[in-house]
A and B are shown apart, each in its own frame.
Chain A
Amino acid sequence: MMNKKSIRLFSRILSLILVFLMYVSIFPVPVSTKAANTSSDRVIVGLGDSFSSGEGIEPFYDQDLPIEQRIKSQDWLAHRSEKAWSGLLTLNDNEKKVCYIMNQNKYDEQHPEYETHWYFAATSGAETIHLYSEQGKKYHLEVNGKAYKGSENIAKQLEIFETVKKNNQKADYVTLTLGGNDVGFTEVIISIAKTSFYVTPYKSTQIFREKLTMLEMATVKSLELAYRKIHETAGTQASIIVAGYPHLFNPTVNISSSSPTGLLINLRERLAVNNCVDILNNQIQSIVEKLQKENIDIHYVSVVKEFAGHGAYSLYPYINPIHLFPKDQDIKQIGDFPNPSAYSIHPNEKGAEAYARCVQAKIDELEKQKYPDKFPENVPSQTNPPQTTVIFTQPPPLTSPQPTNNWQSAAIDLICNAPDYGLELTDVNMSAELIDVTGDYIPEIFFCTGIGATSIPSISGYFYYNGSKYVKGTMSGNNGYFPILPYKSGNQTIFLTGFRNPEDIPDEIPGFSSYWHSYITTCQLSCSGSNINFTVVADYSEYRDELIGFYSEDEEEIAQAEQMWDSYCEEIEDFYYTHPIDPNCYYVFLNNVTLTTCSTEAYKAAFIPFDVQEAVNQYATYS
């Protein structure tokens, strides 16, 4: 039996519990939970600075308008490019079986009734504060002898979410780059570029010091606040993807008769700039990781590796050089010198594509996590061929052996009908020779890709991209990436290219380096035993003398350079690659195929091994 004291105690405890429950019901404890995006529209919102707006990559939206209208256009003043990387991103609508390419579905305020999947608010020159305050844009230019000078305010970037909401949509993803202008990278580089390192060797480090101080004191805090604001405004259903910055300069001086060496920035200064970029990227990543621990759906994507070997003044740059004078589309063409172009030291078109690849990979990864039923990990292998017949719309000219079963036919169908799967093949002189390496029927298709760089001249039997869109495997080994990566994994699609008869392969196996891929003359593949061998023949002789000639006119120095050159060639010529044949895979060798565009989801649906069955079920026509 409880005494009075116990009853009193018990009732006090009970009343405390009741009060607590009442409190919680009125003031619920905030928990950041991920709400599912119930909207059926797939939406990406692109925010950020010039690295996101596509500064330096013409055409900009509205650049063809008459000048009087152009200077009023937010898109033009912000230098939002039609080729900006966030516009190259794609999102699948699995229910409608459609893949949206963002820049084909941009929000147009003149036509709000148009289907929209991409809201683009990134602005050249934006700092973190411009997410929630207007950004003044001053213009001063002369067109047809008439001067136009004034300023317009670019809307606060976060206001874009009000438009998203007005359209009854919600963002699935928010992408951005931010912080570079807060630190003032471009300003630093231009300051350094106009001075002479030899005359004032400490000036650049003194400039860096100032910027590091700013980074320490201000940028970090403002970035954290910015990401929180985006999360608050975009909604918990949105995944925020923060892309970092690339190394802006190549850490070597590349002498070439056809491209500037980049002498405005000393080698030491380049390394220091790249170092500063690393510092900013590390800070950004730390902030993202801190917010992830608070259950905020935010992710960091590094682009450093993707840009490695392609900094400004490299042989194949992804970043514009410094332009000391303004370009035709610069908004400030008249001003005190130096008045460099805003295009300077910003990603070019290839750079934007590199950004898109990195961010798309993250989106694809997140999509799989969010919608796992659409991306099965394993497709059970099928031992019996399906009974249906696949009809080809464009049968390829085949050499023997002819396809012997429906799965082989399905593979050819996928290749031939590539446009339907989002692949655009041009200049195709396709003669797909099927090599059934095992003689067995195989349910999976394994493609290996070739080159991932700009076009390679005079290559036969090579697979390369027109322009610079390509599929890249993982990086390994040297700086840059290897163009040939026979790699099988759930996330990668790789093509085998340029096969030859084993009898055609020379005895020696020269190699290559991503750096010298322009000198690659042929690529050879062979099957031997249980391996596929990839070998590349490179011929540097045409370029060797030219490159050494730039070194010096001194005989001794030339001799040293020749020795260095030759030993380097020897080193890379030892390279070759073998890949064990997977008996569960079917290998298709293609010749002279140029891949120009790729809708990632359709591409993966077509070519990822475990999706083949699904792709055939979805896209093939059956009789």
Chain B
Amino acid sequence: MKKKSTRVLLTTLVCVVCVALIAVVIAIFYKFIYSPPADEDLLEKYGIEEINAEEYFQENSEIVAKIPVEDSKTINNEKEALNNYADRGFSECTILTNYDIDGNFGETAEITGSSEKHPYYETIFVTSNNELWNIMEVNGTIIANPLSYNEQSTRGAPLLVTEADTVTSYDNKANVFYETIPNENEVIVITVERIDAETLENLTVEEIDKL
């Protein structure tokens, strides 16, 4: 009887050890050997063409400057970005970002005013006559995308409003900024002295059409 119960105990112990070993092997496999399909693989698998930003800007603009994010002196941290937006009359707006300083794209998140830096911020501004703008801060510069205007526009290219002659774009893959003068058949640029709530209130769809 004693011999039998010892045999059973030993068998059970061996089984448990085997299961544990298998679990460890699987864990090691997933942690160190298996890698999920790379992001590029999925796009390639499904035939979705990913743009090459450098080629795109070369073909569709005059590139004025190409600035690696790490070299930029004008990127705002969250607190500075909040102040920048507030100074311009966008204090009621929720400021969001998708990118960390290394260019990783993630879920849209509301910024909190920390000292963390992000290369890109954005917010939605609604004017008193219900026109929608997307206000972006890229490398510290403000660009406004007139969504309501572009929604109904019959032009051949979308409009952007800037404070300078150039448009700053963000390539998060290479983690660089491009300062460009876009070709007009790609983007139509309207330059204003300052992008703030007051300016955008006056820059209605009808006013833009007159420009």
Contacts and interface: CB of A to CB of B under 8 A. Distances in A.
Interface of A: 193-196, 198-203, 205-206, 208-209, 212-213, 216, 253, 255-261, 263-264, 266, 268, 271-272, 275-276, 279, 321-325, 336-338, 550-552
Interface in B17-49: 39, 42-43, 46-49
B160 interface: yes
A17 B145 CA distance: 78
B132 A324 contact: yes
A263 B53 contact: no
B160 A263 contact: no
A213 B42 contact: yes
B134 interface: yes
A206 B104 CA distance: 10
A333 to B, nearest CB: 12
A322 B46 contact: no
Contact of A263 (B120, B136, B153, B171): B153
Contacts of A323: 151
A198 B51 contact: no
Interface in B165-188: 167-173, 182, 184-187
Contact of A201 (B145, B153, B169): B169
A206 B105 contact: yes
A247 to B, nearest CB: 14
17 contacts: A195-B134, A195-B145, A199-B136, A202-B50, A205-B50, A206-B105, A260-B153, A263-B150, A263-B153, A264-B147, A268-B51, A271-B49, A336-B94, A337-B124, A338-B124, A338-B147, A552-B185
A100 B46 CA distance: 42
A324 B156 CA distance: 20
B138 interface: yes
Contacts of A213: 42
Nearest to A554: B184
Nearest to A255: B156
B173 to A, nearest CB: 6
Contact of B105 (A203, A258, A259, A337): A203
Contacts of B132: 324-325, 337-338
Given A253-B156, A259-B154, 11 more contacts: A194-B124, A196-B143, A198-B186, A202-B105, A202-B171, A209-B42, A255-B154, A255-B156, A260-B151, A275-B47, A324-B151
A199 B152 contact: no
Interface size class of B (residues with CB under 8 A): 35 or more
Given A195-B122, A261-B156, A324-B148, A200 B172 contact: yes
B130 interface: yes
B160 A196 contact: yes
Interface in B104-143: 105, 120, 122, 124, 126, 130, 132, 134, 136, 138, 143
A257 B145 CA distance: 22
Nearest to B98: A203
B91 to A, nearest CB: 15
A323 B134 CA distance: 15
Contacts of B148: 324
A276 B48 contact: yes
B53 A201 contact: yes
B147 A212 contact: no
A137 B124 CA distance: 25
B170 to A, nearest CB: 6
Contacts of A208: 43, 48
A551 B156 CA distance: 7
A193 B148 CA distance: 11
A253 B156 CA distance: 7
Contact of B160 (A199, A253, A276, A324): A199
A198 B182 contact: yes
Contacts of A264: 147, 150-151, 158
Q: Which of B130, B158, B185 has the most CB of A within 10 A?
A: B158
B157 A263 contact: yes
B48 A275 contact: yes
A297 B170 CA distance: 51
Contacts of A202: 50-51, 53, 105, 171-173
A341 B61 CA distance: 34
Contacts of A338: 124, 132, 147
Contacts of A259: 154
B105 A196 contact: no
Contact of B154 (A196, A198, A203, A260): A260
Given A212-B42, A212-B46, A276-B48, A322 B169 contact: no
Contacts of A206: 98, 105, 172
Q: Which of A201, A203, A264 has the most CB of B within 10 A?
A: A201
Nearest to B50: A205
B158 A275 contact: no
Nearest to B94: A336
A270 to B, nearest CB: 12
B155 interface: yes
Contacts of A257: 154
A324 B56 CA distance: 28
Contacts of B51: 201-202, 205, 268
